[in-house]
Chain A
Amino acid sequence: MEKPGLGSVVQDSYQRGVPADALRELLLKAGWPLDMVKEHIDRVYRDVPDGKAFLAARGLVKGFGARPVLDGIDLDVLSGEIFGIIGQSGSGKTTLLGLLVGFLEPDAGDVSIRTSTGLVSVFKSPEVVKRLFGFAAQVPSFYENLTARENVEHFASLYGIPVGKRRTESLLRAFKLEDARDTLARNLSGGMKKRLDIACAMVHNPRVLILDEPTADLDSVIAQEIWDLVVDINKRGTTVILASHFVQEIERVCHRIGILRNRRVVDVGTPDELRVLYTPYHEVVIETGRASYDALVKLLRSRNDLGIQKVERKGRSLMVISGAPEQVLQFVLRSMTDDVLVRLSVQRPSVQDAFESLVKR
């Protein structure tokens, strides 16, 4: 039989911003059965089921002085997803992130989040927002002269979370920082710094993690580690909103992407939806044994019925962008008489291509 008051304890803890993990530990220590704890925490903390809108921006307008930055942004972020915002440099991605968490006051419009008590404007309930959101800005935000462990403990203390060695160690381990726990943050590598930054943002187990350019200045290997970390965080139930100009990377991890252009979110969709939307062409990649394509290129360009948009050499391959990929394939196969075909593939262009296509419009 359920001990009386568990529901109200969980509800109260949720409203006070106590992280689910910390609450779970406390309740288990207090002797509550695991299944009941899990049930209540899941019910209260996961009040917005995955796939339902958790955060909604409507008519957001923001300018700095006479310079308009955002003009009429409408956006929904679904619970449990990784939502990416792409846009050119200076398009207002960071400003939009600041508005979404209520750090910046909009000139017009509102951003609301769904909580257990209903929709709440982020601008009217900053304290609620601060407990629900974690934010990792482009520049890692921690004390360079504190160790990784001290940084985690410090930021945990700001959220009123008891600083326990076990919890700290668990967090450091989750972010692969256990070997650097006593290293001053300034001496960490770029990737470790980013991980520490995200760890600090996750110290209070937020509902939503905001990441602004999480892989900027990182090499591809480290960047991949960070993306893996983001996916892992998301899998553990945290909604992620991120902004980046690395479109190729974003399209690999994001469930949905919003494209910011001309001060507006011009489209929102899954990566595939965006590819289809912005690039009705396909990419035909051809690689031959001799890798000599001059004659083939001439032939392709002489045919108007193949719907060819672009022919471009990429390393040992030849890339053909076409609205009629099947005809292109047939033509290539027929034309290949004196060389060995090593590779032949048809694929959709990347979101990067779609984005570039959009930008060029």
Chain B
Amino acid sequence: MSEYDLVVVGGGPAGLAAAIAAHHQGVRRIVVLEREKELGGILQQCIHNGFGLFVFREELTGPEYAERFIRELQSVGITYRLETMVLNITSQRLIEAVSPGHGYELISARAIILAMGCRERSRGALSLPGTRPAGIFTAGTAQRLINIEGYMVGRRIIILGSGDIGLIMARRLTLEGARVLAVAEILSYSSGLTRNIVQCLHDYDIPLLLSHTISAIRGRQRVEAVVISQVDAMRRPLPGTEIEYPCDTVLLSVGLIPENELSQKAGVALDPRTSGPQVNESMQTTVTGIFACGNVVHVHDLVDYVTEEGQRAGRAAARYLADRMVSGDPVIRTIPGPGVRYIVPHCISPQRLDGALHLMLRVDNLYRNARLRIASAGHILKEIRRELLTPGEMERLRLTPDDLVGAVSEQLTISVIPYESNR
């Protein structure tokens, strides 16, 4: 059995940032376990630009963003293992892993950082009606096939869901010579960034059908046609609105789910709203010595914030390993109020804060000219005005230790105060 001070599960942006930050804080026996053939995670297939505006003040492609961190990891001499799949983690921080090089092995860790990322919601999770022919891919799978493996997935394409990956793929497929017939979105707004709607759809005259969904997929061997219908307020297809699109491929861009099988095996409590671990201000889970960061905790829009979260987890794990983690009492819980879908972190120990903390949250709907109110037992601690709040964009609220001085109870509620009730 090998022993490490810190085992990082996952070598994507969160794991890389966490391992490097822990090393900077003096942790030396670190290993990063990555199941793919190379580090970098999903960034390696995101060949478009737009990464790193906050971290590097440049617009990099995914592979470039990844390579900067991989180089740093290698230059400071952090150990990493590729093609290494973690099968189990116990609450005693024993890790079972398999790899071609080492076979089955047990690794013991004094601290663990979970950085497994997320995966795409698939057709099964949607119960899409129709036959089961070839030609139905999640957008990320298609992205990997085209950008890394070098396979084209189809010629005439329908995309379901207007998340950013779907929008990016609409452009990518068009540039590779395919015809994207439409992007259908069941909601009345897109969860994608405006920038992507303009530069991926408008630039190529690809229609975005809001309040529409796929009501049938036809084809025996391969997709032959897709029927798209308008939906009512309850998101049910409206009879009489069906339009059939002859096509050979369907891409699904219908949401990402944090990948937490290992967290659950380790006994880490999850938040049903995020499907990720409950964490505190130090990104520590409910199991002592196990930390989590990045998309395994909650799905981010920007990799820059994943990096930042990874660094926070790495620094906190280093403090924990050096026995410098101060007592957590008192603990303030963050409670999503009206309009707020989730908040990360789930609890805060003010005396553990190393400077300001960013509360990350998502709202449940579109709000214009609204305010975000942070309150404790009816006492308003802070209010922030936002011209636009949308579920597609994660909100970050900066909270300083001073802001928490007025917290009179053990709860902090954050709610959206819509424009109508502003007076």
A and B are partners in one complex rather than unrelated chains: no
Residues of A participating in the B interface, judged by any CB pair closer than 8 Å: none
Residues of B participating in the A interface, judged by any CB pair closer than 8 Å: none
